[in-house]
Chains A and B, each alone.
Chain A
């Protein structure tokens, strides 16, 4: 069961015009979360905490002093963001972090604007997987079809938005964890350029690949929320030179490069949906074969496992049984990678950036499907497409990790549905630091692909 999610922008208007109040919105979100408990999107919701926040927002609005246009709007937060009023578990059995009065920077920024934290959302354990089928709280179910996965690792956040519980939610992305579930659930998800959005207070998976970002029912809502993510944060050194958020530039003509080649295969159904969307988009579309995916994937995987192993090493030694069998195997693999191999991976990463550099002068964005297949069914361990047979886990990250390895801004947007009614998404990737320009391109395409006609 899905319904059209009321967008953040619609709720901003409803609050401003007095059709809704923060308490009425909070009550509706709580009621809907209860009705849709079978999705398993949330791992912690405390009605008293939510209503206390809503009542405070009510008072501010009644006194004519809302903190911002989003004052009183409920949002959902992935369970790897620190929140001062809920425990943070990353959906792992190992060492949950009890509420300690600290919010992640992005959560603090949103609270300062009056946004309500409705609750914490289900995720793949430690964000170390892309299916949302490994969690101490159980699997997350896709609102479009309960028998199918949401993808992950921000699967609970995507399910909460796609089912209309909240207009937007927070996610994190190391190899596609915002974009994958956004695509599988038919909504929008944005991974900012590395170094522009603060990671402070978001439990790390891989320091040099992680990015926090929003998931929302409408592209305009992604744009509305990004200023709360962006800017220098003295507690996150990667943002020391962050370019401040700026207005989305208007764009008249869009030129895209549609990538293909070995390692970029996709199912016929997804390829047809992408082709049709590009046709509708009115953009000039060039086609290019992109080489080196095998080497680049090896570099991403080496960096991911090494950094995750370094972060989790102490906890893994103390509580090996606190990690799932697969996560433990990944962490132990990371410990086996040699320093020289990690440096080779970083050399390859530099090579990828140099290979991409000339493309940014010619194209407004690079295009791929977000996923090579629609959301797989629960229990399906393998996917076959384009002559490939890969694990469901690898099929989920199939395209997305490239954007993390190169630090690119990336957006997943819905473009249609499969024969079975499951959503299909398109991914746009832009120049590092060019987040606003990429969103300008996306806004132009979205109007043609999803709003025209």
Chain B
């Protein structure tokens, strides 16, 4: 954790993480619930980058 944070910033970080973790923990996910994928391999080949 970064050291030069104000008390308010530390509180915000802790509360945000607590809220996220509590929400994620409540989810009932099936054995085969695969994550939603943003990555589409074929889309990568369409780029000229």
Q: Which residues of A contact B (CB under 8 A)?
A: 207-208, 232, 234-235, 237-238, 240-241, 292, 294-299, 301-302, 305, 320, 325-326, 328-330, 332-333, 336-337, 341, 343-351, 353
Contacts and interface: CB of A to CB of B under 8 A. Distances in A.
A208 B30 CA distance: 23
Contacts, number: 114
A353 B43 contact: no
- Interface SS of chain A: helix, strand, loop or mixed? helix
B46 A240 contact: yes
A348 B6 contact: no
Nearest to A232: B46
Given A333-B13, A343-B35, A351-B33, 16 more contacts: A235-B49, A238-B38, A240-B42, A296-B23, A299-B24, A299-B27, A305-B16, A320-B4, A329-B5, A329-B12, A329-B16, A332-B1, A332-B9, A333-B12, A348-B24, A348-B29
Contacts of A235: 47, 49
Nearest to A298: B23
| Interface residue tally on B, bucketed by range | 35 or more
Given A301-B19, A333-B17, A351-B29, A234 B48 contact: yes
Contacts of A232: 46
A309 to B, nearest CB: 11
A332 B36 contact: no
Contact of B9 (A295, A328, A349): A328
A207 B38 contact: yes
Q: Top 3 A-B pairs ranked by shortest CB distance?
A: A298-B23, A346-B35, A240-B43
Contacts of A302: 20, 24
A341 B24 contact: yes
A301 B24 CA distance: 10
Contacts of B24: 295, 298-299, 302, 341, 344-345, 348
Contacts of B34: 347, 350
Nearest to B23: A298
B2 to A, nearest CB: 6
Given A240-B42, A347-B34, A298 B19 contact: yes
A376 to B, nearest CB: 20
Nearest to B49: A235
A291 B17 CA distance: 22
A337 B36 contact: no
10 contacts: A234-B48, A295-B26, A326-B9, A329-B8, A332-B9, A337-B17, A346-B35, A346-B36, A349-B35, A349-B36
